């Protein structure tokens, strides 16, 4: 015999111990190696970030996966933000956002 559901569990997305990004999107000059790589060969930097993040280095070759990777980094390190914000950053500031991801993964190693 099945019983009717009287209440639904509520999922909350709170960050008890939230942190912040180690650097902002436009702090590209904090690491000149990453900055130059992100400026001139962003596809190589994206592959390195994926590899350092523990994913296949070919992941950025698939559409939308850099967005998923940024969201994954943010979620793994409990950095507050939204997928919408991630999408805006990657759409309008792709090289700078890639550099931020590379600096973040490097700092968290």
Give residue-wise pLDDT tens across range 30-62: 999 999 999 999 999 999 999 999 999 999 999
Tokens of 6: 């009287």
Please compute, for residue 41, the number of CA atoms within 13 A of its CA located in the half-sphere on the CB side: 8
Question: Tokens in use for 32?
Answer: 């000149």
60-87: average pLDDT: 94
Prediction pTM value: 0.80
**Is the model's pLDDT at 15 over the cut of 50?**
no
Separation between Cα atoms, residue 56 and residue 59, nearest integer Å = 5
Average pLDDT of the chain? 88
List, in order, residues 6 or more apart from 71 with CB less than 8 Å away.
Answer: 83, 86
Between CA 76 and CA 72 the distance in angstroms is 6
């Amino acid at each position: 015999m099945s019983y009717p559901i009287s209440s639904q569990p509520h999922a909350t997305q709170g960050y008890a111990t939230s942190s912040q990004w180690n650097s902002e999107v436009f702090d590209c000059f904090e690491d000149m190696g990453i900055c130059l790589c992100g400026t001139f060969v962003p596809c190589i930097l994206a592959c390195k970030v994926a590899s350092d993040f523990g994913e296949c280095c070919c992941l950025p070759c698939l559409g939308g996966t850099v967005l998923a990777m940024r969201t994954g980094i943010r979620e793994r390190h409990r950095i507050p933000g939204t997928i919408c914000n991630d999408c805006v950053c990657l759409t309008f500031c792709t090289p700078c956002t890639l550099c931020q991801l590379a600096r973040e993964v490097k700092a968290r190693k």
